[in-house]
Amino acid sequence: MKLNSLHDLYVHELQDLYSAENQIIKALPKMAENATTTELRSAFEEHLHQTREHVNRLDRIFERLNESAKGDKCQGVEGIIEEGEDLMDKDATESVCDAALIGSAQKVEHYEMAGYGTVRTFAQQLGYSEDARLLQMTLQEEEQTDKKLSSIAERRVNTEATRSAR
């Protein structure tokens, strides 16, 4: 795909997010399965439902634009997920495993927040107000997930992981 306009770049970045979201849908069940606390497992399961809705919103945008959702594989999220899987394969205490899962998930969330913020701004610039509204909704959900993961880490997981090292 040639990038001759902001619209072309917008579609390209939406395709990247579409790929990322679909990779995340595949990764979240394994993350939930490996989480040792009910609260973290529940957060991953809840985010899986949200992520499916994120894909639905992107599908609506692609349909409105009359563009294909298929593009190159999102290598950024692919790499973050691979790093997280490597950490899950390490021999770690339960709390350290949960801390690693949270860290990996937050890396993904930050990637998504940057991506959704960018495409939302592109949509605004291009006058695609309905797209901008949908993208803002997703951005806010990604931010809320990041805050929830931070809260779980700070209230419980990191404290327990600190104790397990002593």
Per-domain residue ranges for the chain?
6-164
Give this prediction's pTM.
0.92
Residues 88-140 have pLDDT tens digits of 777 778 888 889 899 999 999 999 999 999 999 999 999 999 999 999 999 99
Residues 53-82 have pLDDT tens digits of 999 999 999 999 999 999 999 999 999 999
| Dist. CA 162–CA 9, nearest whole Å | 44
Residue 66's H or E segment, with its range, is: none
| Dist. CA 157–CA 154, nearest whole Å | 7
Phi then psi for residue 165, to 5 deg, are: -85, -15
Homologous superfamily (CATH) of 6-164 is Ferritin, core subunit, four-helix bundle (1.20.1260.10)
